[in-house]
């Protein structure tokens, strides 16, 4: 049972608008082989939601017709969708950059033993969550045994060339803070990760992406239950930096849920805040099919609430890591 979250409003957060659409972030399924404390999707082994064949057909049409450059596949564990490989193959055939938001442990699950080889063969960019380089911290946040399985997954990816200079196979790691605090500077933490993982395990990777925890879903409920929600929200507001507004991911990305509905970001999706799109008749939310008839989304207003302060606090935060990495 989750604690009830306070209503998130948009008081004081600046109005922002869309630029050119560059990426689709597609939530293929809420099913996952893990159940992490910080997960804003509330994903887990018992979740059954998965993108339908009808929505997948529309996704393929959008990929073919719309000038998107990147397909960012997320979940849950996106690889657990039964048509994951078909989606990847189609997008790569169309010349798109494909990102797999991988939890690493899926690579060792029964039935997924050849997954890493498939990703390498397709040239998929792997972005993998590893909230610390120590066993104790990772297992505390993600469950007993997760660190060991994650290290095994990283070694498998390294053997295939991922994270190795000159291979062309990109392996990014993702850091989420433990508790109600902002991430440390990304460049400094990346150097620490690279040194420790290389020294302790012989592991190499491309970049570290630091992402601020959103005060929603499972993490938000935990803050409420510990009496830390208001303090964390105040930290986010106090750390607001207006220069981060120009680079927030919602300006160039659309989040697609498992039913094919559209949102300005994955966090708005979890809060059921659909993207604003002029011209919808008799409907309150746009769908993938609307991207087939919309010439441009430039200038569309972006739906904001107080959780948006998490993306603009400090060095900034997006699915691509810190916005200001200096």
314/5: higher pLDDT: 314
Cα separation, 309 vs 307, in Å, equals 5
Residues 6+ apart with CB under 8 A from 247: 316, 318, 323, 324
| CA nearest neighbour of 69 among 89, 94, 48, 90 | 94
Which 3 state secondary structure label does DSSP give 28? strand
Q: What pLDDT does residue 326 have?
A: 46
Other beta carbons less than 10 A from residue 321's beta carbon: 22
Cα separation, 190 vs 315, in Å, equals 14
Q: What pLDDT does residue 303 have?
A: 95
Is the pLDDT confidence value at 162 over 70? yes
Compute CA distances 46 → 29, 37, 140, 246, whole Å.
11, 16, 21, 38
Buried b (16+ CB within 10 A) or exposed e, 39-65: bbbbbbeebebbbeeebbebbbebbee
Q: What pLDDT does residue 63 have?
A: 86
Is the pLDDT confidence value at 6 over 60? no
**pTM, 2 dp:** 0.90
Please state, rounded to an integer, the average pLDDT across all residues of the chain. Answer: 88
Please give the CATH number for the structural domain made up of 23-312.
3.20.20
Q: Where are the domains of the chain?
A: 23-312
Query: How many C-alpha atoms does 309 have within 13 Å on its Cβ side?
Result: 21
Is the pLDDT confidence value at 144 over 90? no
Cα separation, 103 vs 127, in Å, equals 8
| 145 — pLDDT class (breaks 50, 70, 90) | confident
Residues 6+ apart with CB under 8 A from 183: 175, 176, 177, 189, 210, 211, 212, 314, 315, 317, 322
Q: What pLDDT does residue 42 have?
A: 66
Q: What pLDDT does residue 132 have?
A: 74
Cα separation, 158 vs 203, in Å, equals 7
């Amino acid at each position: 049972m989750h604690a009830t979250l306070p209503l998130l409003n948009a008081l004081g957060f600046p109005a922002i608008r869309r630029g050119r659409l560059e990426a689709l972030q597609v939530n293929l399924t809420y099913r996952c082989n893990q159940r992490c404390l910080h997960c804003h999707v509330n994903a887990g082994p018992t979740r059954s939601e998965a993108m339908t064949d009808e929505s997948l057909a529309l996704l393929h049409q959008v990929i073919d017709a719309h000038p998107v450059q990147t397909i960012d596949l997320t979940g849950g564990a996106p690889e657990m969708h039964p048509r994951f490989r078909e989606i990847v193959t189609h997008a790569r055939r169309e010349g798109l950059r494909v990102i797999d938001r991988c939890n690493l442990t899926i690579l060792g699950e029964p039935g997924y033993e050849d997954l890493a080889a498939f990703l390498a063969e397709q040239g998929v960019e792997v972005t993998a969550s590893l909230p610390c380089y120590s066993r104790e911290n990772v297992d505390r946040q993600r469950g007993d045994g997760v660190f060991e399985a994650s290290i095994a997954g990283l070694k498998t990816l390294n053997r295939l060339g991922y994270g190795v200079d000159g291979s062309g196979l990109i392996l990014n790691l993702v850091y989420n803070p433990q508790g109600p605090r902002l991430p440390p500077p990304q460049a400094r933490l990346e150097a620490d990760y690279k040194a420790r993982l290389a020294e302790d395990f012989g592991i190499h990777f491309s970049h570290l992406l630091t992402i601020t925890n959103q005060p929603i879903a499972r993490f938000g409920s935990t803050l409420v239950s510990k009496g830390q929600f208001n303090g964390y929200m105040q930290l986010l507001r106090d750390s607001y930096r207006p220069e981060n507004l120009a680079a927030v991911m919602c300006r160039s990305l659309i989040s697609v849920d498992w039913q094919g509905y559209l949102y300005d970001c994955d966090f708005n999706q979890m809060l059921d805040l659909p993207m604003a799109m002029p011209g919808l008749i008799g409907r309150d939310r746009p769908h993938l099919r609307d991207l087939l008839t919309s010439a441009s989304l430039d200038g569309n207003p972006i739906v904001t609430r107080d959780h948006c302060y998490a993306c603009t606090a400090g060095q900034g935060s997006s699915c691509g890591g810190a916005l200001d990495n200096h």
